[in-house]
């Protein structure tokens, strides 16, 4: 066994993984996991539950496209694999849906509210872990709430119509999520999604 293999074995036993494109070693929750299915298809495993040896990438459209262009999935898997041409778009769709699902679950659990005044009240009471603001919201309103949320994670990956669908209205511009597991999930997956939406405009 080569020394590099020993290093990789140590990584697989611990909480960190190595991106096959950048070589960066990061906590698993900051990377995207992929596995090769029985049909040799490369499958994104956002939840980290699928069986098989994981292949890890830093979250970014450019990183995924580099892995495709340089055939790095096949090299990491040590076998021929099939990779969807639209893999980056597929990952974005999955993460986008999961983030909105987490926000919807928080709303149903009574852990999320929407509306400027409601969010402002929750911020002043210190009950906010995640501040969610529409990408197409007016900047002054966003700035006012951010000023009240120095310790909160700010998520701005969605537009007002997408947020509105979560809260049962046409549009929702400002929302927040209380501390807890759903807030942690939204924070983690929104950070992954940001790498695929950074260049998108509302």
Q: 133-176 pLDDT, tens per residue?
A: 999 999 999 999 999 999 899 999 999 999 999 999 999 999 99
- The pLDDT of residue 198: 64
Q: Which CATH architecture has domain 3-85?
A: 2-Layer Sandwich (3.30)
Question: What does the DSSP assignment read for the chain?
Answer: --HHHHHHHHHHHSSEEE-TTT--EEEGGGSEEEEE-TTSBEEE-TTS-SSS--EEE-S-HHHHHHHHHTTHHHHHHTS--B--TTHHHHHHHHHHHHHHHHHHHHHHTT-EEESHHHHHHHHHTT--SEEEE-TTS-HHHHHHHHHT-TTSEEE--S-HHHHHHHTTSS---EEEE-SSHHHHHHHHHHHHHHHHHTT---
Domain ranges of the chain: 3-85, 90-197
- Per-residue pLDDT tens digits for 89-140: 999 999 999 999 999 999 999 999 999 999 999 999 999 999 999 999 999 9
Q: Which residue has the higher pLDDT, 87 or 1?
A: 87
Q: Which CATH architecture has domain 90-197?
A: 2-Layer Sandwich (3.30)
Rounded Cα distance between 145 and 132, Å, is 10
């Amino acid at each position: 066994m080569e020394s590099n293999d020993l290093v990789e074995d140590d990584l697989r036993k611990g909480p960190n993984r190595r991106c096959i494109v950048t070589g960066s070693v990061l906590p698993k929750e900051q990377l995207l996991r992929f596995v090769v299915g029985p049909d040799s298809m490369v499958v994104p495993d956002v939840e980290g539950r699928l069986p098989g040896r994981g292949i890890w990438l830093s979250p970014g459209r450019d990183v995924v496209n580099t892995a495709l262009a340089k055939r790095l999935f096949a090299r990491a898997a040590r076998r021929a694999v099939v990779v969807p041409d639209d893999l980056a778009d597929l990952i974005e769709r999955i993460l986008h849906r999961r983030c909105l699902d987490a926000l919807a679950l928080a709303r149903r659990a009574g852990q999320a509210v929407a509306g400027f005044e409601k969010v402002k009240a929750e911020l002043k009471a210190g009950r906010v872990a995640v501040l969610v603001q529409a990408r197409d919201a007016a900047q002054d309103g966003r700035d006012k709430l951010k000023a009240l949320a120095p310790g909160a994670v700010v998520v701005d990956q969605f537009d007002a119509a997408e947020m509105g669908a979560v809260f049962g209205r046409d549009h929702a511009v400002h929302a927040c999520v209380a501390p807890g597991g759903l807030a942690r999930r939204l924070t983690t997956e929104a950070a992954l999604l940001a790498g695929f939406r950074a260049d998108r405009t509302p």
